[in-house]
Amino acid sequence: MVQTAKETGSVLLAKPRGFCAGVERAIDIVEIALEMHGRPVYVRKEIVHNPHVVEDLRKKGAIFVESEDEVPEGAVVIFSAHGVAPAVRNNAQSRKLTTIDATCPLVTKVHVEAIKYVKEGFSILLIGHAGHDEIIGTMGEAPNSIQLIEDVEDAENVSVKDPNKVVCLTQTTLSIDDTKEVVDALKRRFPNMHTRNDICYATQNRQAAVKDLAKRVDLILVVGAANSSNSVRLMEVARAQGVKAHRIADVKEVRPDWLQGVASIGVTSGASTPEVKVTEVVDYLKSKGHVAAREIKVVDENVTFSLPKELRDHRKK
């Protein structure tokens, strides 16, 4: 295997990094809803997992709530990019709320798959992390037919009604490498299992960029929130390549001792991290003597997702 030479004194930026199409769409939805309906509009849960994005939208007039029950009857509520269970939609309807769905289309795809396989009598094994908003929403589609698989141990111990009618679905923000072990364990137990690759394009691209970056640098900083699954996975992917890596919410979390004896530094960001937070980190590294940053591009991203129809119509006016 050809080794890529490490670069001395440089700051290298992974490309792609930062906002994905689903995050851009979700933020646009909140901003357009504010234009259409005025302040306030309510958002159920964090629209995306990044406190800087949430605070920016809060200043513009969004009110973030944990449950649709906190929204005044008849008001506007937006469902976050991570999706919701049918029970949430039904409750919102019963309370006469005007709902706008900011669920990422790739998450919606997993929901559709779950519904399809349940109707066909399959047991669904969903690989993901307990408590994550995306998992809660997906499992809510068919709670009696979906079992959560968090690791290989779960895969080895899960039981199903019919071993020949099993399908494996995946949380979209996981590491490809992490899910492979779990999927392989499930395939050994259920050779006829249907497998869907639900890890999103943005997650895969950012992980590929980190792997390339790891060949060139001594340290990788991943800018992203602690509750951002894809940001945590980027850190883990970097470490799996044998490189020191840390996830930071923003520049204030960079520790000077991390930089001691480090010749080259890679910087990337999770799919819900604003680019300004990356710029702040790069500026800090420059102030510590590292040369101007340059990008290392692995793949071009040109994916876009359509807005909900009512918001598209507003944009045309």
Model confidence over 42-87: pLDDT tens digits?
Answer: 999 999 999 999 999 999 999 999 999 999 999 999 999 999 999 9
pLDDT band at 3 (very low <50, low <70, confident <90, very high): very low
Q: How far apart are CA 298 and CA 295, in angstroms?
A: 10
pLDDT band at 1 (very low <50, low <70, confident <90, very high): very low
Give yes or no for a contact between 197 and 127, defined as CB atoms under 8 angstroms apart: no
Q: How far apart are CA 185 and CA 15, in angstroms?
A: 33
Catalytic residue, from 73, 134, 181, 275: name it: 134
Active site residue 134: yes
Q: Which domains does the chain have, with CATH numbers?
A: 11-20+201-297 (3.40.1010.20), 21-104 (3.40.50.11270), 106-195 (3.40.1010.20)
Token pair for 181: 């072990």
Report percent pLDDT > 70 for the chain: 97
Q: How far apart are CA 148 and CA 232, in angstroms?
A: 20
Q: Indicate whether this model's pTM tops 0.85.
A: yes
Span 11-17, mean pLDDT? 97
CB atoms within 10 A of CB 80: 25
Q: What is the mean pLDDT of the chain?
A: 95
Under 8 Å CB-to-CB from 113, ≥6 apart: which residues?
167, 169, 196, 198
